[in-house]
A and B are shown apart, each in its own frame.
Chain A
């Protein structure tokens, strides 16, 4: 069974502060790493799909990096805003596999 771990499980950050959290995944047979943002009472929405070691992707104040050799990805949020409050999910896809394996998520709360 593939193990995809996210840390921390939850995080409280003051508005305006920057933050980051981690997704760890198997370092062998890598195919892709997805990040999703999941707001309460809504469905998960894709943020990034990362496929190459050293990838760095950015969407507004949110960015992500990927290290496939050591099996981790970081998600960064710069200048947190209340609307950033959500659960952030990462999902790993192994080469040759047809499914995504999700981590448990990091629940981020931005305090005004």
Chain B
């Protein structure tokens, strides 16, 4: 089954304790992205990756890191989480071929993070 998986789904942590949220897709998609969703603000992009070893900042990258060592995986790293990073996080992936219009993004199930 084609899917995007995220782990963990729920996480409660404390300020400053490093954490990683994993994201994996089995559709051989080139493009992967991380979003955070906060009430009243919609989905905001944190980081994205066009392909292996190619990553770039989205609109709200501060406090986050990513890596893309393999095509299927795109982990989100919070080196020193703070309470303002409490949010619902979504990973998404899509094909990204030049000349190909209309690439639908497929979303993971979401990770709800609470930083105390």
Contacts and interface: CB of A to CB of B under 8 A. Distances in A.
B8 to A, nearest CB: 15
Q: Place the interface of chain A in its size category.
A: 20 to 34
B48 interface: yes
Interface stretch (B12-20, B36-44, B63-71, B72-80): B36-44
Interface residues of B, number: 27
A98 B104 contact: no
Interface string A27-70: 00001101010000011111001110000000000000000000
Given A43-B90, A98-B50, A49 B43 contact: no
Nearest to B103: A49
B108 A43 contact: yes
B90 A89 contact: no
Contacts, number: 58
Interface in A95-109: 98-105
Given A99-B45, A102-B44, A46 B105 contact: yes
A102 B46 CA distance: 13
B37 to A, nearest CB: 9
B45 A100 contact: yes
A42 B40 contact: no
Interface string B99-116: 001111111111000000
A42 to B, nearest CB: 7
Interface of A: 1, 31-32, 34, 36, 42-46, 49-51, 89, 91, 98-105
Given A43-B4, A49-B102, A104-B40, 7 more contacts: A32-B102, A32-B103, A36-B105, A91-B105, A101-B59, A102-B44, A105-B42
Interface of B: 4, 31, 33, 35, 40-45, 48, 50, 56, 58-59, 90, 96, 101-110
